[in-house]
Structure 1
Amino acid sequence: MTDLKIGGVPEHFNYPWYITLKNKEYNKHHINLRWQDYPGGTGQMCKALRNGSVDIAIVLTEGIIKDIADGNPSKIVQTFVKTPLIWGIHVGAKSSFKKIEDLENATIAISRFGSGSHLMAIVNAYNQGWDVSKLKFKVIGNLQGGIDALTNGEADYFMWEHFTTKPLVDNGIFKRVGNIPTPWPCFVVAVRNEVLENNFEEVKKVLDIINEETKDFKEIDAIDKTLAKRYEQQLEDIQKWLKITEWNAGKPMTKNLITRIQNKMVKFNVLEKRKNSEEFIKNMYI
């Protein structure tokens, strides 16, 4: 039995992994795949990939590209969710801020430097024409940290996935002043180089199993009700989310796509310079 550790955010995007793990799909192929939730998001997972506490991570595209460029010894093996992530831009319930334009000089709550909440705040600032060098950040760790920081005034706004934070908006904890979609596919599967060298076939089998699951995921009987209950969402919100979300189901990440994403990230001042796109990816389907 091969032991592999995998991690991701505890959000609806990753429910296909829960199904395959619950059904012991990996055990049938002598793979002991153990799931770890990472509520701190991509920054927390990049750190875990670096220190070896996770082998495979379902991470935000922008976060892992930035971290591989900065020396993370991992590769992207495929896109997991090929549609953009919709980031909600939130302020506290009692905040006087009404719209995105009001936030130019405000303090931004981010889970970690290098995380999606950090990088997308830069993308948003760039889109608004603000001076990116003047952005002020407060590191808060995770979603609960964001709730605390906005409630007690330590930060002014916080960006997190639209549907995950919708219940907080519905319950009057956050106000949403806008949304911004990622200008690229949102989630990818990243694997440590050492694991790819030693367990290439096992990683490939893991991908085959999850891709088979995501292929018909939306057709699962009453999947909308299951997700709404599990993630404490309104049924209509989950139905909207399912409508705009597409999984990748097995196509490899291409050099062209990495190059296009890097070009945007350089333009947004997220990356200093573009690197050879081959450094970021490993094709599992040669």
Structure 2
Amino acid sequence: MVIRVGYVREHFSSPLLQFAAADDGKTFTLVECPSGTGQLISRLTNDEIDVAIALTDPLISGIAKGSTAYKLVGSYVSTPLNWAVVTGKDSKYQSIPELKGTKLGISRFGSGSQTMAYVMALQQGWPTDTLEFQVNHDIERLVNSVNDGSTSAFMWEWFTTKPWLDSGKVRFIGSVPTPWPSWMIAAHPTRAPSSALKPFLESLSGYVREFDTEEKRQKDDVEFIKEKFGYPEEDIKSWLLTVGYPKDCTEISSDVITATLSTLEKAGFIQAPEGGFSVKNFVNEEVAQLI
């Protein structure tokens, strides 16, 4: 069986891209989802992909809100994601507190850009039930919206957005790191059977471990990212100092799920059922190991 793996073409995906090049379509194919995790979840729901490598918080919040289109099957990045708070080059906004009560740009409802807006509001002490959003689908339209004034700001991963900063098209007025490890792996409960998922995740773990070695970080990782994504070497080296990957992609921390649910509930983004959430409902334990 050849499984369809949805992903976002960013520097985080480097080990996956290396695996895909070696596999050459024998066991899986990649489906690019440039709009991010909201698009990945939509494609899982609509039978356009079988597996998604996506942001932790939207995946967990989607299941918490009742989605049955996927379960968590693995972990991908073990460090937080640093979200830049981005505004227009000539906008009046100079700091995060000034964004209170304004309309924020997001890629999609349920996306990381939306969940992190709730986290930012929680940190700032803003009422989360009054947050207002405008859906702009992708980073290009998000950039346009902060420059035409239809939104005040949007949130996107720091290094992915930095080329827009370097070209003078936007300004950064702050950042908000995720309170959880940033990327996880989810799969449709029936379209991606364990017989296909287990070997995929075991092989991916090997590529992740190799990419994460000190030797590879010094040169090969830098050259790969420079060639694939065109980022300046200085930015790549800075990013590599901040990112970590799991030794085993099939392991999922129950503490991560619990802590993420707690933060999202405090932010008002999700509501716990009577009796609270059960971590086991979030994970396909035929594939992943809860630790």
**Structure 1 length-normalised TM:** 0.93
Question: Once the 2 structures are TM-superposed, how far is the Cα of residue 255 of structure 1 from its aligned partner?
Answer: 2.7
Residue in structure 2 matched with residue 189 of structure 1 by the alignment = 185
Question: Once the 2 structures are TM-superposed, how far is the Cα of residue 229 of structure 1 from its aligned partner?
Answer: 3.6
Amino acid at match of 1:217: F
CA distance in 1, matches of 2:226, 2:84: 19
Instruction: Work out which of the residue numbers 222, 225, 228 in structure 1 matches 2:223.
Output: 225
Instruction: Work out which of the residue numbers 145, 150, 156 in structure 2 matches 1:154.
Output: 150
Aligned CA RMSD, in angstroms, stands at 1.5
Contact 2:181 2:256 in 1 (8 A): no
Unaligned runs of 5+ in 1: none
Shifted more, 44-53 versus 252-261: the winner is 252-261
* Partner-residue secondary structure (3-state), 2:252: coil
CA distance in 1, matches of 2:224, 2:251: 29
Contact 1:40 1:141 in 2 (8 A): yes
Shifted more, 102-111 versus 219-228: the winner is 219-228
Residue in structure 2 matched with residue 139 of structure 1 by the alignment = 135
CA distance in 2, matches of 1:285, 1:149: 40
Shifted more, 147-156 versus 224-233: the winner is 224-233
1:195-250, Cα deviation, whole Å (9 max, x unpaired): 34xx2121000001111001020433432133134222221111111111011131
Contact 1:106 1:156 in 2 (8 A): yes
* Partner-residue secondary structure (3-state), 1:23: helix
- 1:247 has 2:245 as partner: yes
Residue in structure 1 matched with residue 111 of structure 2 by the alignment = 115
Instruction: Work out which of the residue numbers 202, 209, 215 in structure 2 matches 1:208.
Output: 202
Unaligned runs of 5+ in 2: none
CA distance in 2, matches of 1:90, 1:119: 16
CA distance in 2, matches of 1:70, 1:129: 24
Amino acid at match of 1:62: D
Question: Once the 2 structures are TM-superposed, how far is the Cα of residue 276 of structure 1 from its aligned partner?
Answer: 1.0
Contact 1:117 1:160 in 2 (8 A): yes
Contact 2:65 2:270 in 1 (8 A): no
Residue in structure 1 matched with residue 121 of structure 2 by the alignment = 125
Residue in structure 2 matched with residue 85 of structure 1 by the alignment = 81
CA distance in 2, matches of 1:236, 1:256: 34
Amino acid at match of 1:68: I
Contact 2:74 2:288 in 1 (8 A): no
Residue in structure 1 matched with residue 236 of structure 2 by the alignment = 238
Shifted more, 67-76 versus 172-181: the winner is 67-76
Shifted more, 233-242 versus 111-120: the winner is 233-242
Contact 2:129 2:268 in 1 (8 A): no
CA distance in 1, matches of 2:246, 2:191: 22
* Partner-residue secondary structure (3-state), 1:193: coil
CA distance in 1, matches of 2:102, 2:58: 23
Residue in structure 2 matched with residue 35 of structure 1 by the alignment = 30
CA distance in 1, matches of 2:120, 2:33: 24
Amino acid at match of 1:8: Y
Question: Once the 2 structures are TM-superposed, how far is the Cα of residue 159 of structure 1 from its aligned partner?
Answer: 0.2
